[in-house]
Structure 1
Amino acid sequence: MGVLAYSREMMRVLGEFAQIVPVLAGKKPKKEDRASLGTIFEDSVARNPQSVMLLFEGRQWTYSEFNAEVNQLAHMLQARGIKRGDCVAVLMENRAEFVLALLALAKLGAPSSLINNSLSGKALVHCFKETGAKKCVVGAERTNNLAEIMPELVQSLSLEPGRDYFWVPDEGEHTDDFFCPDWAEDIALAMAAMPKGNLSVTREITSGETGTYVFTSGTTGLPKASVQRHLKYVIAARLVSKLGFRVKPTDRLYLCLPLYHSTGMVPGLVSFMANGASIFLRRSFSASNFWPEVQQYQANCFVYVGELCRYLADQPESDIEKNNPLMKMMGNGLRPDVWDQFRGRFGVRRICEIYGASEGNFSFLNVLNKDKTIGAALSPVTLVQYDLENDNIVRDNEGRCIEVPLGEPGLLLGKITPESEFDGYTNFEATTSKIVENVKTHGDRWFNSGDLVRQIDVGFAMGMKHFQFVDRTGDTFRWRAENVSTNEVAEVLNAHPQITMANVYGVEVRGVEGRAGMVAFQLESGGEAGAALDLNAFQTLVERELPDYAQPVFIRVLRNVTTTTTFKLQKQHLREEAYHPDKVTGDTIYVRKPRSASYELLDTAFYQLLVAGTSGY
């Protein structure tokens, strides 16, 4: 960077910092404060009664109008016996009534158990049991999912038909269940005659009380319920919205991430609601409808996950994306190559990458609007050496963890203090498994993120240390005595014009230490799996951009790509299926054999050598 460019960057950062200082200097929220998700909303209503709050499928509410409906529902639920501390499950798609139920329960001090609406069967029953839900608010679009498990809920949780289920009709064309089942009460009818005034109990709720339960994705097992105190939402209303998005009442958010997920909830719904801004809510993400709707509703803000952004970047350029109003975006998992496209192609001025697990005790924010970084930590963290081969933390002779040098990936730990508590999960064993002790001094306690992160140089930053996400410890693998980051390999492979979202992982090869690299992807052009993959171009790319040990040994061309409901790529089943022909039916597997200069189809003869442990790797 030249002198002039550095001077400009320094002035820009100083300007950013000037906006940060007043926010950080303000009063820090405490658990004993009488502040909650409910009071955040009520305070915003008082400041912005006639401002538009929510737009959804042709309907629109001002803050005052929405508050009146929230109060009616809260009074109705209170009349049905729901009181402060009672957990109520919410099973619904993204829609206005989800927000209605969330805020009504928050006003009562009744924690919402926000369940992934795609779940059914055993996983759905598990979520009810994890939080001990006493009632359930279910959308018409998920009636069948709930009806299937009702006998189990009656038996295990005593959730009785006709008493403990509240049904929310769906005005959209997304369900055939237009009539309330006989085992539930129709919320729309029951709340119609209820009072529209605020409830007195709302102002008694403290920040230390549980506001919601948010579930982990469950990609490696059944979902775990993480405890979300009201304090988290109070902090989001003040810090996240002001330091990250810099939300103004005139802003409008495009929100298509699931509301049962922290990214959609915290930097999305809560941050904008707290500042009197408006929200365009969508049931789910659609790449083809994104830009037309951004233009139609003049949304200048957007919350994202990285995979969603790649879908947008992979779309052909069109006139509708030009001169768009989108100026600010916040989220997590934005890959460097996609970051450049959102800056250049789409003209987004502010990209605030964030990092933080739903159950964690710390977060990172890119408050200075630097490129390709998760930003600075808002509470004490450390990066320590991690042995990937043996899957454990490296300690010195005195039993203390060893910090990694600048630029080296390390396991991210967050110090547990009275100011940065780890609330954990509803399950005690799951909570204790995430705590690491004696990290720097005897008796200290730290939250184990399970992620590898490194500190990076971002230039002038007022002394604020900046970091970059590297990989999950379970995803990074060793091959040829070297650590391979799946994220870094994927970033290289995504540059191949035929590849749509490379999913990189390590697979076992019998008789060989470590794991061999394997990549799975769907061809950009679609069509028959594997038919048009340009192997020569693929090989040229990996040999030019990746060291030998990081170059994939196996390629799997997928017919279909499986993601979570928050668009995260799933690896576990791919690892298990690996390169075994009987498990990858319909997909095409390529291999680069030992001492071979090119990729070729995996044939039966070489597969038998892999199984026998005589492949020669």
Structure 2
Amino acid sequence: MSQDKITGMDLMRSLPGVFKRLPAIAKGYYYYSVKDASKPLALGTLVEKNAEKHRDRPAVLFEDRSITWGEFNAWSNRIAAYFLAQGLSKGDSIAVFLENRPEILAVVTGAAKIGVACAMLNSSQRGKVLEHSINLIKPKMIVVGEELVPAFDDIKAGVQFDHPTPHLFLADTNTLNAFGDAPTGYANMAQQVSTFNSNNPELSDPPRTGDTAIYLFTSGTTGLPKAAPGSHTKFVKAYGGFGMMALSMTPDDVFYCTLPLYHGTGLVVCWSAALAGGSAFALRRKFSASAFWDDVRRYDATAFGYIGELCRYLLNHPPSDQDRNHRLTKMLGNGLRPSIWNEFKDRFGIETVSELYASSEGNIGFSNFFNLDNTVGLSTAPYKLVKFHDGTRDPIRNEKGTLEEAEKGQPGLLIGENTKKWTFEGYTQKEATEKSLIRDAFKKGDSWFNTGDVLKSIGCGHLQFVDRMGDTFRWKGENVSTNEVENIIDGSGMVEEAIVYGVEIPKTNGKAGMVTLVPDKSSFDINKLLDYMRANLPAYAVPVFVRVTDAIEKTGTFKYRKVDIQKAGYALNRSDEAIYAWLPKTERYTLLTPELVADIDGGQFSF
């Protein structure tokens, strides 16, 4: 099969594998196609179901700790009872600021059981961005892990909570019965939770499928992060669609996840897949390429969650006779590039690649249901690929004012129709929600969600990811908002003008951040600027390259020629400009030379 074409024969060859999964597919379709938002089918009920069926089997594995389904359910019940005692009720929200560890799953489940939504703060956020994210939700309380107390304390004064004792502390002890000492101003949550009843909550108005379960933060297309509400529907659909229909997970499976649980891929997609099988969910705090396969063997993992960059890091490690010494045959995630797809499968013995396409806030998703190569799969949601203005996320309207579909096989901007069944849940900010919708696209009164992503059809209803467009790019598995970075740089007081964009580095996935700036000559210091950005941005959003120039070219309507600047990348093409790079494992920007550019282009640095 060509990597850019799927035929009917390819589908036929996949049918034996599909037939083997028919019972799981039939069962999964029930959950995947759920329509009734008023059903009492929610995240908490999925956990309780596993506690009944698989009470003594492992639910969560972390370092040297193993928690059974019965223990996990009882733990989350005590958390639910604790939150009720704190006066929280259905419709309220809390913020969760924890790194990957079992507590994050227990807190989300406990809150979900009583209808309280968890705002999943990005553990990499710092300073103004973190403060902004919390204030978007206006949560009643915040749960802060010991590992992140300094980051929260830095912005605590700028955040308001509607609760007399809003700051909850969770010690980083990796044991259920060691509570640690809470800092001044924090309640010791684990210690207080331990005194509560472990029975399933009995509520007169339990959570419903359509109720908000979580808030996920996305860079969106412009500006600071936006908060996208995620209903229990997202968990239920992922439970049926990925856990049952795509992967056919069972209690004998172990799902290894190194992806951050503040992301939809880790929390909703990967965890729901494990929930669907009554499978163990093995966590690692942060991804490590050198420890990956040792962990897989340690936990006896059979499946793992990925983003494309993760797979490339694993491939970059020298081949070993241990590459197939494991039981892992299934993978679930997004961003696996066609250029490494088959190489990765062949080297590590992977049988099933359940590549998907989705976004935290979007109303459309694709899944590689037939286990074909080089595709995000197909979708039952209504969508179109439309013509767009190059270098932007804006669709082209014809002389009639309507959109036009891209030619067959050509890249097009993906838009998903906003219908009752496939609802765009939007953001907490109405203005941001409206900005992501395209109205009157093909007929009067219709409404479509603009994904901002470019894909192309490769046959038989299957699509292939091409690129992320407009004011957002993807680096280190994260969406980076150019406007967010520009606003932070503007606040430094060292720069007169700045324009941020993504550039490609050979042998890497995504696009690295780059800024072209005009310095304030009285205050500019390249490394003081780096320190400022590192204090106010997640590491992945700090520009890898900086071009320092005397002026940035604009159009006649005072718009930056962003496409031209982006095409120039980090090439040393002008003698009157200086270009710097934040090289891996360094603390300063380094002035680029032709020799360094050649080394970067040749893959000598592991960005």
Q: Is the 8 A contact 1:220 1:572 kept in 2?
A: no
Amino acid paired to 2:49: D
Provide closer, same or farther for how the CA distance between residues 6 and 182 of structure 1 changes in structure 2, counting only shifts above 3 A: closer
Does the 8 Å contact 1:305/1:566 carry over to 2? no
Corresponding residue of 1:209: 211
Whether the 8 Å CA contact 1:41–1:274 is kept in 2: the answer is: no
Task: Find the aligned partners of 1:67 and 1:393 in 2 and give their Cα distance.
Answer: 47
Of 367-376 and 200-209, more deviation after overlay is shown by 200-209
State the shift of 1:80 in Å: 1.3
Name the aligned partner's letter for residue 261 of structure 2. Answer: L
Q: Distance in 2 between matches of 1:178 and 1:421?
A: 44
Check 1:78–1:505 CA distance in 2 against 1; reply closer, same or farther (3 A cut).
closer
Cα pair distance change 1:589/1:217, threshold 3 Å: farther
1:270 to 272, 289, 292: 272
Secondary structure of 2:14's aligned partner: helix
1:551 matched residue in structure 2: none
Give the corresponding residue for 2:326. Answer: 324
Q: Could you tell me which residue of structure 2 aligns to residue 14 of structure 1? A: 15
Q: d(CA) in 2 for partners of 1:123 and 1:148? A: 12
Task: Give me the TM-score of the superposition, normalised by structure 1.
Answer: 0.76
Larger CA Rg, structure 1 vs 2? 1
Superposition map of 1:88-127 within 5 A: 88-127=94-133
Match of 1:404 in 2: 406
Indicate the larger mover: 389-398 or 51-60.
389-398
Q: How does 1:154-553 map to 2 (within 5 A)?
A: 156-158=160-162, 160=164, 163-171=165-173, 178-201=180-203, 204-217=206-219, 221-388=223-390, 392-457=394-459, 464-474=460-470, 493-494=506-507, 503=511
Q: Which structure exhibits the higher relative contact order, with contacts defined as CA atoms closer than 8 Å and separated by 6 or more residues?
A: 2
Normalising by the residue count of structure 2, what TM-score does the alignment of the two structures yield?
A: 0.78
User: Is 2:85 aligned against 1:83?
Assistant: no
Distance 1:300 1:168 in 2: 31
Deviation string, structure 1 residues 106-133 (Cα, Å, up to 9, x no partner): 1111000110112222111111111111
1:363 is matched by which residue type in structure 2? Answer: G
* Offset of residue 42 of structure 1: 0.9
Give the C-alpha shift of residue 338 in structure 1: 2.2
Deviations 1:197-231 (A, max 9, x none): 00012972111111000001479642111010111
Instruction: Pick from 33, 38, 54 the counterpart of residue 48 of structure 1.
Output: 54
CA deviation after TM superposition for structure 1 residue 138, in Å: 1.1
Q: For 1:297 and 1:394, how far apart are their aligned partners in 2? A: 50
Corresponding letter in the other structure for 2:15: L
Seen in structure 2, the aligned counterparts of structure 1 residues 391 and 358 have a Cα distance that, compared at 3 Å, is closer
Counterpart of 1:472 in structure 2: which amino acid? R
Distance 1:93 1:225 in 2: 19
Could you tell me how far apart the structure 1 residues matched to 2:431 and 2:341 are? Answer: 38
Match of 2:322, SS state, is helix
Contact 1:476 1:505 in 2 (8 A): no
For residue 72 of structure 1, report the CA deviation from its aligned partner: 1.3
Identity of aligned residues (%): 33
Q: 1:7 to 1:380 in 2, by over 3 A?
A: closer
Assess if the C-alpha contact under 8 Å between 2:228 and 2:427 holds in 1: yes
Q: How much does 1:7 deviate?
A: 10
Cα deviation for residue 508 of structure 1 reads 8.3
Paired amino acid for 2:14: V
Provide, for residues 551-597 of structure 1, a one-character-per-residue CA deviation record: whole Å limited to 9, x for no partner: xxxxxxxxxxx9x9999x75966476665416544142549xxxxxx
- The 3-state SS of whatever aligns with 2:195 is coil
Query: In the alignment, which residue of structure 2 is the partner of 1:151?
Result: 157
- Aligned twin of 1:129: 135
Q: 1:270 to 1:56 in 2, by over 3 A?
A: same
Contact in 1 for aligned 2:409/2:458 (Cα 8 Å): yes
> What do residues 411-445 of structure 1 show as CA deviations (whole Å, max 9, x unaligned)?
10000000000011101111100000122221110
Measured after TM superposition, the shift of residue 475 of structure 1 is 7.6
| 1:278 positional shift | 0.5
Give the conservation status (yes or no) of the 8 Å contact 1:52–1:278: yes
Shift of 1:405: 1.3
The one-letter amino acid paired with 1:343 is K
> Could you say which residue in structure 2 is the equivalent of 1:62?
68
Gaps of 5+ in 1: 458-463, 478-485, 495-499, 511-561, 592-597, 602-617
Asked if the contact 2:410/2:457 (under 8 Å) is kept, the reply is yes
TM-aligned CA distance change 1:574 to 1:360, over 3 Å: farther
- Which of 17, 39, 42 pairs up with 2:45? 39
Q: Secondary structure at the match of 1:321?
A: coil
Measured after TM superposition, the shift of residue 11 of structure 1 is 4.6
Change (3 A) 1:243 1:121: same
The answer to whether the Cα contact below 8 Å between 1:475 and 1:506 also exists between their aligned partners in 2 is no
User: 2:154 aligns to what SS in structure 1?
Assistant: helix
* 2:423 aligned counterpart, secondary structure: coil
Change (3 A) 1:297 1:586: same
Change (3 A) 1:135 1:295: same
CA distance in 1, matches of 2:451, 2:503: 19
Deviation by residue 1:299-338 (Cα, 9 ceiling, x = unmatched): 0100001111111010111233233211000101111222
The CA distance in 1 between the partners of 2:537 and 2:349, in whole Å, is 27
How far apart are 1:371 and its partner, in Å?
0.4
